Amino acid sequence: MVPTSNSNDGVLPHDLLHDILLRLPARPLCRFRAVCRPWRALLSVPRFADAHVARHPDPHFAVVVSGRLNSFGRELVDVYLVDASSGDVVKRVCAGRCERPKEVSTHGGMVLLVDNNQMLRVLDPASGAFSLVPDYMDHPNNCSFTLGRTASTGEYKALRIRTDKDIRGERQVICCSVLTLGRGHLARWRNVPNPPQTVITERRFVAVVDGVAYFVLSMPYMHDRSGSDWIAAFDLEAEQWQPDLIGGPPETRNGGLRVTLAELRGSLVVAQDGHRAATLDLWFLLAGSGDGKVGQQHWSKQYTVTMPYHGRPWRLWEESAEPVVVLDDGRIVFWVWPSNSLRGGVMRVYDPITSGQTDVAAEAKCTHVGVYTGSLLRLP
């Protein structure tokens, strides 16, 4: 085959070069764009990026870090894209000034940031650009925000839940609303019905799976309903709460619930924390016949992980380990949060075959950890 003028300047045939570069990790490929113009053109084609993601399916972490100051002494927020296997930072995207993010929600390739002034902004790491959510000055206090994506259309939507305390001091849901992102100034919040029971909106009690946002019921309801159903579900496409609550795994039905929700391998996962033994049982909600109260789905305990906390075989009460992603080779990546702190933590990789664990990264000023499933080759 005689190389053509667009076949890497006559050094290698275009098809051969394509196949060779497709086998390499994304991080060196980003640097290879500087080799020459033909290489840059090849590595910047969206079709190449899609083929690379299909060959290298492991996602990256989106780690939100605050504390860096600009030249005027004002705090900035950065989003680090971190290799989920090695812990290496492959990209840093500045989200601009954001007064200590009160809340962060990530899904797919987007990040939703909320600061203490209730200002919302959406960051697209693929372009490094962010935009303010419409009506950002009109958000009432005591609101939480969950970012998700509809299963059929792929639209990103934000679910806003406003709560307030009743006369007993218990938090109740006041109202819910939904916003479809990507519509510019035409986007508006739409009121939707409230959940069947009051839900917890903290990050570790929420998971979005296949276009459905799952929430753990608030503590009073969980205690009242131990042995019953304690997960509420909101369909982002239909923009309504599912009428029936979902029962948890069998071993969580006897009171003393210490759980978190996560999305792993496309399934809803309940991580049950055995506090005294420092273990985590990972229950997957799987399709198929079962005798639970979730129709044609059933819970399956697929992992029991012994989790040493910061070098100790035991843990302090406030320490927690959250499963974030299952890698293509079966290893599980956790983020371990320290005691009595909403910031910082350790990225830990667990191998279920050897039961070995490796701490690959730590970040003292981290405020949120999510999963970035986009291609690094789409980043600027």
Say yes or no: 44 and 158 in one domain: no
Say yes or no: 115 and 128 in one domain: yes
Burial of 295 (0-12, 13-18, 19+ CB in 10 A): exposed
How many domains does the chain contain in total? 2
222 vs 210, higher pLDDT: 210
Average pLDDT (173-199) is 84
Note the pLDDT of residue 3: 41
- Cβ-contact 191, 174 below 8 angstroms: no
- Pairing mode of beta strands 110-114, 75-83: unpaired
The predicted model scores a pTM of 0.81
Q: CA 249 to CA 259: how far, in whole Å?
A: 11
pLDDT in tens, 303-323: 998 876 655 555 555 677 889
pLDDT in tens, 59-88: 777 888 777 777 777 777 788 888 877 788
Burial of 64 (0-12, 13-18, 19+ CB in 10 A): buried
Say yes or no: 191 and 286 in one domain: yes
How far from chain centre, in Å, is Cα 331?
A: 17
- Cβ-contact 140, 148 below 8 angstroms: no
214 lies in which domain range? Answer: 59-316+362-372
Among 25, 56, 87, the domain-final residue is 56
Q: CA 104 to CA 131: how far, in whole Å?
A: 15
Among 5, 35, 56, the domain-final residue is 56
SS3 147: strand
Query: For residue 278, which amino acid is it?
Result: A
Say yes or no: 282 and 141 in one domain: yes
Q: Where are the alpha helices (DSSP H) in 169-211?
A: none
Q: CA 147 to CA 132: how far, in whole Å?
A: 14
Do the domain assignments include residue 66? yes
Say yes or no: 104 and 186 in one domain: yes
Say yes or no: 221 and 284 in one domain: yes
Note the pLDDT of residue 289: 54
298 vs 7, higher pLDDT: 298
Do the domain assignments include residue 10? no
Asked if residue 346 has pLDDT above 70, the reply is yes
Do the domain assignments include residue 2? no
Residue of 95, 157, 158, 152 lying closest to 127 (CA atoms)? 95
Do the domain assignments include residue 327? no
Say yes or no: 109 and 49 in one domain: no
Highest mean pLDDT among 87-101, 258-272, 327-341: 258-272
Say yes or no: 28 and 128 in one domain: no
Do the domain assignments include residue 312? yes
Say yes or no: 125 and 51 in one domain: no
The angle at the Cα of 362, spanning 356 to 363, to the nearest 5 degrees, equals 155
Do the domain assignments include residue 351? no
Note the pLDDT of residue 294: 46
Say yes or no: 73 and 51 in one domain: no
Say yes or no: 79 and 182 in one domain: yes
Do the domain assignments include residue 378? no
pLDDT in tens, 111-144: 777 765 556 777 776 665 667 676 555 556 678 8
Q: Which residues pair with 349 in a beta bridge?
A: 333, 358
pLDDT in tens, 136-173: 555 566 788 899 999 888 888 999 898 876 666 666 77
Do the domain assignments include residue 324? no
Among 56, 84, 107, the domain-final residue is 56
Q: What is the CATH number of the domain that holds 242?
A: 2.120.10
279 vs 251, higher pLDDT: 279
Say yes or no: 22 and 121 in one domain: no
pLDDT in tens, 358-374: 888 887 777 778 888 77
The pLDDT-based confidence of 238 (bands split at 50, 70, 90) is: very high
